[in-house]
Amino acid sequence: MYPILPERPADAAQIDSLLDLAFGSDRTRKTVYRLREGVAHIKSLAFVVRDEDGIVLGSIRYWPVMIGEAATPAIMLGPVAVHPDYQGQGIGRALIRHSLYAATRLNHGLCILVGDKPYYEPFGFVNAADRGMEMPGWVERERFQVMELAAGALQGVGGMVGKPAKGGSRKKAAA
């Protein structure tokens, strides 16, 4: 297994190429990209796996979001990508476990994502729409998921997911 390392600014071009390879160049048309536009990813939750030559084989990032009229802060996982030649080796799962642990240690309370239910369910993700959350645009209901990173963080949370307020505080939703 390769070590999981913090993303460096110099990794950006390789990560973009990896994302195009893993998801196609039309990936930016998806709803989650509307929530990312003009918002910086959370640098403390951006990790990569590199081979011995420094080539990025896997990457994960998170983005700040707000949920509902109460503007409950949360983080949005994604994208997570692994080079097709290295898929099935546990790199993606390791990146997810590592980063969710880091998010918990940084006192983030909620994490949302849009992804395959069978893949993310073992990490503790549940259907977000069933808990009264909505995405601003079309997503497959069963792919919209949420996970409590702090006990009780989901209590009373619902509504539309949106971008964080510009210049607003980044208070964390923790119980």
Q: What is the pLDDT of residues 109-151, one digit of tens each?
A: 999 999 999 999 999 999 999 999 999 999 999 999 999 999 9
Are the C-beta atoms of 158 and 61 separated by less than 8 Å? no
d(CA 164, CA 155): 20
User: How many CB atoms within 10 Å of residue 105?
Assistant: 10
Q: Model's pTM, two decimal places?
A: 0.91
pLDDT reported for residue 169: 39
Q: What is the pLDDT of residues 8-53, one digit of tens each?
A: 999 999 999 999 999 988 888 888 989 999 999 999 999 999 999 9
d(CA 128, CA 26): 25
Q: Which residues 6+ apart lie within 8 Å of 107 measured at CB?
A: 150, 172, 174
pLDDT reported for residue 13: 96
Question: Minimal CA–CA distance to 142: which of 155, 125, 156, 159?
Answer: 125
Quick check: 173 pLDDT over 80?
Answer: no
Residue carrying structure tokens 């959350």 = 133
d(CA 100, CA 77): 9
Question: Minimal CA–CA distance to 164: which of 60, 47, 54, 36?
Answer: 36
Quick check: 153 pLDDT over 90?
Answer: yes
Quick check: 170 pLDDT over 60?
Answer: no
d(CA 128, CA 103): 19
DSSP secondary structure string, the chain? -PPEEE--GGGHHHHHHHHHHHH-GGGGGSHHHHHHTT----GGG-EEEE-TTS-EEEEEEEEEEEETTTTEEEEEEEEEEE-GGGTTSSHHHHHHHHHHHHHHHTT--EEEEES-HHHHGGGT-EESGGGTEE-SS---GGGEEEEESSTTTTTT--EEEEPPPTT--------
